Amino acid sequence: MQELGRLDDLPLAYRESLGAQNLVPLWPSLRAVLPPGTPSRRTKPVMWSYEALRPLLMQAGELTPIEKAERRVLVLANPGHGLEKMQASAAMYLGMQLLLPGEWAPSHKHTPNAVRMIVEGEGAYTTVDGEKCPMSRGDLILTPTGLWHEHGHDGKDPVVWLDVLDLPLVYYTETSYAVEGKEQAVIGTCLERSYARGVVPSPVFSRGSSRQYPMLRYPWADARAALLSLAETQPAIEAVQVAYVNPENGGDCQNILGFSALMLRPGETLNLPARSPAMVFHLIEGGAEVAVEDQSFTLSPADTCCAPGYTPVTLKNRSASEPAFIFVADESPLHKKLGVYEVRA
């Protein structure tokens, strides 16, 4: 490949003249912004142990009352981006959030999309635009862009969930902001419609829902049952995986990030091809190993790890007798919208 000129090849007076006019020569930096063959990636393979972080999260509950925190969260930061950037990948933010009995995290809305994957505890809820969504382990709850949401806790034990937001991207585009609100009036419980997989309301005979997000809570019991049924009825299927989608149109449940649940059959090893989007794996049940680049992570329940894009990933069930269940978040919808989604052999 042709060697390009460097910035210090140019006379100082010329460089100063460019700077005075807010001009920058492209050629010295061309290879940095358009590297040959494969993108430059700051996202590194990294794992966050729930056993290690949980005591620190509980200590945060002792040190900082909810009134001083608003949202009591420990951010799962990828060191490749720098801890101060508070991001797991180019487009994903992760955080472990704690709500103690009797606490209320005040209502607000913001431009980034968020989901909550419940890690432990019972008795908490999220109210989204007036709909109260109970939280149980493994449930996925959406708080999409622009919708009011707040969290409350009527139970007896701490409740923890994993936040996944597209905050890094929305912040980068200079469109990230929040608006504070007052406590919402509850108008009903969160919609949990019994949609058959692969069947959606007919656009000819049904007006469908007036809501952009007709389903805000995806119970883990339903997703788990769907995975077990898929494994039983299609034993030859390559991967036992279901996507969290808008049940009325089959599209992604949110705009920028994609979410799915994966079951590793007993003793199964699954080789994922190198794809352009980064991926996050959060173990709900069982035990698994995740191999990415030159690293291997052993996951126990509630552990989380991140894999950069353009990198093959190997998932292995550590048990020969029991399935393992994994929640997956990735940047696929964003890449497909941008036209850069890619799978490499």
Q: Using one digit for the tens of pLDDT, what is the confidence trace for 1-21?
A: 788 899 999 999 999 999 999
Chain-centroid distance of CA 244 in Å reads: 12
Rounded to the nearest 5 percent, the helix, strand and coil shares of the chain are 20, 35, 50
Q: Region of 173 please: left (phi>0), alpha (psi -120 to 50) or beta.
A: alpha
Look-up of token digits 């994994």: 326
89 part of a folded domain: yes
Q: Using CA atoms, how far apart are residues 248 and 328, in angstroms rounded to an integer? A: 22
Q: Under a CB-based contact definition with an 8 Å cutoff, are residues 119 and 160 in contact?
A: yes
The amino acid occupying position 68 is K
Contact 118, 182 (CB under 8 A): no
Cβ(58)–Cβ(158) below 8 Å: yes
Write the single-letter amino acid at 186: V
Domain containing residue 293: CATH number: 2.60.120.10
Dihedrals phi, psi of 78, to nearest 5 degrees: -85, 120
**For residue 196, pLDDT beyond 50:** no
Q: Does 327 have pLDDT greater than 60?
A: yes
Helix (H) or strand (E) holding 204: none
Burial (0-12, 13-18, 19+ Cβ within 10 Å), 49: middle
Domain span at residue 117? 46-195+214-344
Beta strands 188-189 and 131-134, pairing class: parallel
82-115 residue pLDDT tens? 999 999 999 999 999 999 999 999 999 999 999 9
In this structure, what are the phi and psi dihedrals at residue 332, rounded to the nearest 5 degrees?
-55, -50
Question: What stretch of H or E contains 337?
Answer: helix 332-338
pLDDT surpassing 70 at residue 199: no
5 in a structural domain: no
Q: Is residue 27 part of a domain?
A: no
Question: b/e for 6-42, b at 16 or more Cβ within 10 A?
Answer: eeeeeeeeeeeeeeeeeeeeeeeeeeeeeeeeeeeee
Residue type, 224: R
- At 268 the pLDDT is 98
Which tokens is 242 given?
């279901």
CB contact at 8 A, 74 and 95 = yes
How far is residue 244 from each of residues 64, 116, 194, 219, 255, measured CA to CA in Å?
34, 13, 14, 11, 12
pLDDT in tens, 36-75: 999 999 999 999 999 999 999 999 999 999 999 999 999 9
Q: How many structural domains is the chain composed of?
A: 1
Task: Give domain status of residue 149, yes or no.
Answer: yes
Q: Could you identify the residue written with the tokens 């969160």?
A: 190
Structure tokens at 219: 């119970």
H or E stretch including 170? helix 167-172
Residue 156 lies in a domain: yes
Residue 210 to residues 192, 197, 205, Cα–Cα distance (Å):
16, 21, 15
pLDDT digits (tens, 9 = 90+) for 209-265: 456 888 899 999 999 999 999 999 999 999 999 999 998 888 999 999 999 999 999
pLDDT in tens, 115-143: 999 999 999 999 999 999 999 999 999 99
Per-residue pLDDT tens digits for 142-192: 999 999 999 999 999 999 999 999 999 999 999 999 999 999 988 888 755
In a domain, 19, yes or no: no
Q: Span 280-299, mean pLDDT? A: 97
* Mean pLDDT of the region 295-299: 98
Q: Which residues, in sequence order, are bridge partners of residue 288?
A: 299, 317
Whether 204 is in a domain gets the answer: no
